């Protein structure tokens, strides 16, 4: 299902959480919803889930205005999540599934399937309070997807998981993506964004400041900076860079053996750089510095806040 949010504005008593926010979320894709605390992510997620309403703007699902009939199409895993501690695992999962509108027998069957899949079958008659934190997190994930929603919104889905279970959940999310679900992943964990997201939306103070595929965003944020590993006279190397380049950093690896980080200036290319330094030193390796999502996040937020 494709979600189109157009010109969404959400105001609270003392601030505006979303300012004319528009975005498209595609089916079969995982979209990372990023931003610092207070950026407006939770407000947007709540609006999508119809927990709160937007003041202005429009959201459509496959062209149809978002309404209460879409409730069963959504699966939502909030960031700070809880369960009823006194309920038994199976009853709890079935209860939340039925609240989403599926019948008891389907809910029970799906619950058994998911508990098997996430290796929790032995705990289905245990009370929630008897579960470890990781197990409870898995139950919460099951509650999110048990009714086979077409749109899945995951807020920090990996928090609280050990690396093994985090990988297990990651694989489940990727399977759901392959099944054509529209997945929104809100997180501060940039590694998980890089590893599973197809697209990102970056919010700051209610404004969208970045939107696009990971590849496009990274391309747009290339810093034109390279690591050059070389042997030879470092003074000659440095003097050669006096115009058109900026030596950001230099490290000595051994006797006359260095690695330097150089930023290209004035429309110079990597070939120009190599032409400049090859006469002075012996080049051993060249790598472009690719920005991480973390770098892009910090850079974009800083620039937006300063600007």
* Residue ranges binding another protein (CB under 8 A): 13, 46, 49-53, 71, 74, 76, 78, 80-87, 95-96, 98-101, 143
Which of 143, 262 has the CB closer to another protein?
143
Closest CA to 45 of 167, 180, 152, 170: 152
In angstroms, give the least distance from the CB of 110 to another protein. 15
Please check whether residue 59 is in contact with residue 47, taking contact to mean a CB–CB distance below 8 angstroms: yes
Which of 11, 19 has the CB closer to another protein?
11
In angstroms, give the least distance from the CB of 45 to another protein. 9
Which of 95, 261 has the CB closer to another protein?
95
In angstroms, give the least distance from the CB of 11 to another protein. 11
In angstroms, give the least distance from the CB of 8 to another protein. 17
3-class SS string, the chain: CCEEEEEEEEECCCCEEEEEEEEEECCCCEEEEECCCCCCHHHHHHHHCCCCCCCEEEEEECCEECCHHHHHHEEEECCCCCCCCCCEHHHHHHHHHHHCCCCHHHHHHHHHHHHHHCCCHHHCCCEHHHCCHHHHHHHHHHHHHCCCCCEEEEECCCCCCCHHHHHHHHHHHHHHHHCCCEEEEECCCHHHHHHHCCEEEEEECCEEEEEEEHHHHHHHCCCCEEEEEEEECHHHHHHHCCCCEEEEEEEEEECCEEEEEEEECCCCCHHHHHHHHCCCEEEEEEEECCCCHHHHHHHHHHHHHHC
φ, ψ of residue 208 to 5 degrees: the values are -80, 120
In angstroms, give the least distance from the CB of 131 to another protein. 13
Which of 74, 245 has the CB closer to another protein?
74
Which of 20, 79 has the CB closer to another protein?
79
* 102: Cβ contacts below 8 Å, ≥ 6 apart: 72, 110, 147
In angstroms, give the least distance from the CB of 159 to another protein. 13
In angstroms, give the least distance from the CB of 260 to another protein. 48
Which of 95, 160 has the CB closer to another protein?
95
Please check whether residue 181 is in contact with residue 101, taking contact to mean a CB–CB distance below 8 angstroms: no
Which of 46, 218 has the CB closer to another protein?
46
Which of 103, 246 has the CB closer to another protein?
103
In angstroms, give the least distance from the CB of 257 to another protein. 55
In angstroms, give the least distance from the CB of 136 to another protein. 10
Which of 57, 223 has the CB closer to another protein?
57
């Amino acid at each position: 299902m494709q979600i189109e949010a157009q010109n969404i504005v959400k105001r609270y008593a003392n601030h505006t959480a979303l300012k004319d926010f528009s975005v498209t979320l595609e089916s079969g894709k995982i979209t990372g919803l990023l931003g610092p605390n207070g950026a407006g992510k939770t407000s947007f997620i709540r609006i999508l889930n119809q927990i709160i309403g937007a003041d202005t703007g429009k959201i459509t699902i496959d062209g149809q205005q978002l309404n209460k009939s879409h409730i069963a199409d959504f699966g939502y895993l909030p960031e700070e999540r809880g369960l009823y501690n006194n309920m038994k695992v199976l009853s709890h999962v079935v209860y939340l599934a039925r609240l989403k509108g599926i019948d008891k027998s389907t809910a029970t069957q799906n619950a058994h399937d998911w508990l098997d899949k996430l290796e929790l079958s032995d705990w289905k008659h245990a009370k929630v309070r008897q579960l470890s934190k990781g197990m409870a997190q898995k139950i919460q994930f099951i509650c999110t997807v048990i009714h086979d929603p077409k749109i899945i919104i995951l807020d920090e889905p990996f928090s609280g998981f050990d690396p093994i279970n985090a990988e297990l959940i990651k694989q489940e999310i990727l399977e759901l993506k392959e099944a054509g679900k529209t997945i929104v992943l809100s997180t501060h964990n940039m590694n998980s964004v890089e590893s599973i997201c197809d697209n990102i939306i970056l919010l700051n103070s209610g404004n969208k400041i970045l939107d696009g595929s990971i590849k496009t965003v990274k391309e747009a944020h290339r810093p034109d900076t390279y690591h050059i590993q070389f042997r030879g006279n470092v003074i000659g190397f440095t003097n050669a860079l006096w115009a058109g380049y900026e030596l950001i950093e230099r490290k000595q690896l051994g006797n006359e053996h260095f690695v330097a980080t150089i930023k290209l200036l004035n429309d110079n290319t990597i070939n120009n750089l190599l032409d400049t330094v090859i006469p002075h030193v012996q080049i051993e390796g060249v790598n472009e510095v690719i920005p991480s999502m973390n770098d892009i996040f910090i850079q974009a937020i800083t620039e937006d806040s300063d600007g």
